[in-house]
Amino acid sequence: MILFENSSFYLETKNTSYVMRVLDNKVLSNAYYGKKIGRCNLNAFSLIRGIGYSPSIALEGKNVSPLMIPWEMPTYGQGNFGLPGISVIGADNRFVNELSYESYEIINGKPSIKGMPSFDTNVEDVQTLKITLRDKALNYRVILYYSVFEKEDVITRRTEIVNMTDEQILIKSASSAAIEFQSKKFQMTTLKGSWARERWIDTYDLHQGVNSVESRRGSSSHQLNPFMALSEKNTTEHMGDVYGFALVYSADFKISVEVNEVDSVRVIAGINPENFCWRLQAGESFETPECVLTYSADGFNGMSHNFHNLCRNHLGKCADKNVKHPIVINNWEATYFNFNDEKIIEFIKACKGLGIDTMVLDDGWFGHRDNDDSSLGDWFIDEKKFPNGLEKVIETCKSQGMNFGIWFEPEMISRDSDLFRAHPDWCIHTDLREPVESRTQLVLDYSRQEVVDYIFEVMDDFLSKNDISYVKWDMNRNITDNGSNWLGEYQGEFSHRNILGVYDLEKRLTEAHPDVFFEGCAGGGGRVDFGILYYMPQIWTSDDTDSIERLRIQYGTSLVYPPSTMSAHISAVPNHQTGRITPFKSRNDVAQMCNFGYELNVAKLPQKEIEQIPKQVEEHRGLEPLIQDGDYYRLLNPFTGKQCAWELVSEDKKKAYVMLAAVNIAGNDTSYYVKPRGLNPEFIYQINDTDIIADGETIMNVGIPVVEPLGEYETRTFYLTKI
């Protein structure tokens, strides 16, 4: 619900309030964000005052310091020394901006953003507030959009900048959201990592100055995810105040948290201004990507539930209840590049009767691709490997009761490719420098429409001519030579224009082939964000398939993204990334909480493991309602303890699934309890493989007893069923 009373805006969700005030000199300020409160006038609660050795401005009948004002969309200048949310360079070439409140509008529903993904599905019950600010001196307007998702306890924000002049202006920074908390002591939580070690949880105290999480790699990156949370010290998974921020964006981003000398905490989230500058012609407008804000009084798990529910209810393909996530087997770790049609057919035949839905043919099927040195961009069949095309392979899949899927890397190009020889200027490069290679490949310039159009035509033709039900869309390197010749002196537009081109291709292909299931991938988990998930309902969570490493990766990923968006496979041992040997059951149990599949050659498994596959598939089908719609709880933290445990609980609370894994073991180890969450206190549950029949209140408070400690890399699972 959105109301405007007594010069104040009240944005209310089921459990939260977001309040802004229009001060007497038309300054829009934040007054409160947190647990739901009454709609009283908050003027008397203000901390705004004058302080020593600081500029002052007239406000509310007194002289006050600008740094004491909780600006809703701050700019630089006029005594405001903090990070700006908006920075526009006008005709005077100065960076000083000043935004004043002009008007507002409340609308039902939620407008989409042109050319970009956003939470715009099933939004009949959503309201949107549009607040217009204006810089009178430079004559541009800023429109702030606030969409209130009442049931999910979420507010999404974005910004539109409109040039009202007759001349070009330059946008130097354009944040999607800004908010300021007064007199707060926070810790900051981010998701850090690298390739094969994505989204490890990192929590630390804020310091005076700027604390930030960002990417300048052309993608949201393996290293830092476009997410940040602020929490009070000693906040746990289930208790304490947490504010979560996440961007619906897949390119260069920055979320900054600035603490000033009076303990005000300013958050700025949006496109990374480091390599951004946008020319805005007379009458034109620029729209930022969307930012998600959520508050939870129930710790990090409460924050995660809000993110998860928003994603599953309102984000493009993730909100499509008709999408069925297939159980796949991928040939990559089984064969790498060493295959032909005969080997693939034998690979498929080995899966007969196992219940696997789809076989995915990974890298190496196109051009003359025998290693990663060639052929990216040449999306036609390698006739040496497949002299009769894919028809026989696809027919074999069908005869085994399976569908056929295939791997693409549409954003890349190899020097050794027909496409590069025909269009060497289509790769991202600058004339004065040799482009930097990574994995002996270059990146296509998707800021150029002719490149996007060409790749669409090739992929559309390929998918139309072949019976393909599944596409794994990969991106195996970052962008190093940021820029495009056609942009001339306006190279600061490149990164954003490039991701708009990627979104354009994803939109056109997914709409042209609505029955094809698309999975996102970027060297594994290098582009896990709400932007990609809008078009693709799941993402290959990491190239690291080791089940013990996956405990941390999947646990950290769940901070923002629901299990229904993650993909996890059982792989062979010794594991190809770590060399670790883990039990087949453990690999299964860790993968079961995600969208499940296999990354191995079935024919090379021991017979006793082959016999387990149909049971694993059946188990996953039983868990799918929990994975797709259930509530997820983190119970034991693999980053800080000897065990990891997580839980899925059905919407009606009648079923729950708990997975427990040993991260480390010790001699003569102790017994302990695992305490589930989210059960109905009054329901009576039976726990499989135990003698426990008890009410939910008892089980949650006493816990499930683990009498015999787990062995090395061992897992146990518990099914709780209402009786």
Written as one letter, the residue type at 623 is: L
Residue pair 678/647 in contact by the 8 Å Cβ criterion? yes
Residue pair 75/99 in contact by the 8 Å Cβ criterion? yes
Of 34, 282, 299, 341, the closest CA to residue 164 belongs to: 282
Distances (CA, A) of 524 to 222, 304, 527, 558: 8, 22, 8, 16
List residues with catalytic annotation: 474, 543
Q: Find the angle CA(317)-CA(318)-CA(322) to the nearest 5 degrees.
A: 70
- Whole-angstrom distance, CA of residue 244 vs CA of residue 300: 9
Tokens 């993909």 found at: 567
Residue pair 553/525 in contact by the 8 Å Cβ criterion? yes
If you ran DSSP here, which 8-state letter would residue 16 be given?
E
DSSP 521-539: -BTTBTT-SHHHHHH-SEE
- Whole-angstrom distance, CA of residue 212 vs CA of residue 117: 24
- Whole-angstrom distance, CA of residue 707 vs CA of residue 687: 15
> Helix %, strand %, coil % for the chain, to 5?
20, 35, 45
If you ran DSSP here, which 8-state letter would residue 135 be given?
E
Tokens 């969409």 found at: 147
In sequence order, the β-bridge partners of residue 669 are none
- List the structure tokens of 461: 């033709």
Phi/psi of residue 694, each to 5°? -155, 165
- List the structure tokens of 235: 């906040």
- Whole-angstrom distance, CA of residue 496 vs CA of residue 249: 10
Residue pair 240/299 in contact by the 8 Å Cβ criterion? yes
Residue pair 306/296 in contact by the 8 Å Cβ criterion? yes
Phi/psi of residue 333, each to 5°? -70, -15
Residue 454 host element (H or E)? helix 449-465
Using only the alpha carbons of the chain, give its radius of gyration: 27
DSSP 418-433: HHHHH-GGGBS-BTTB
Of 181, 253, 308, the closest CA to residue 631 belongs to: 308
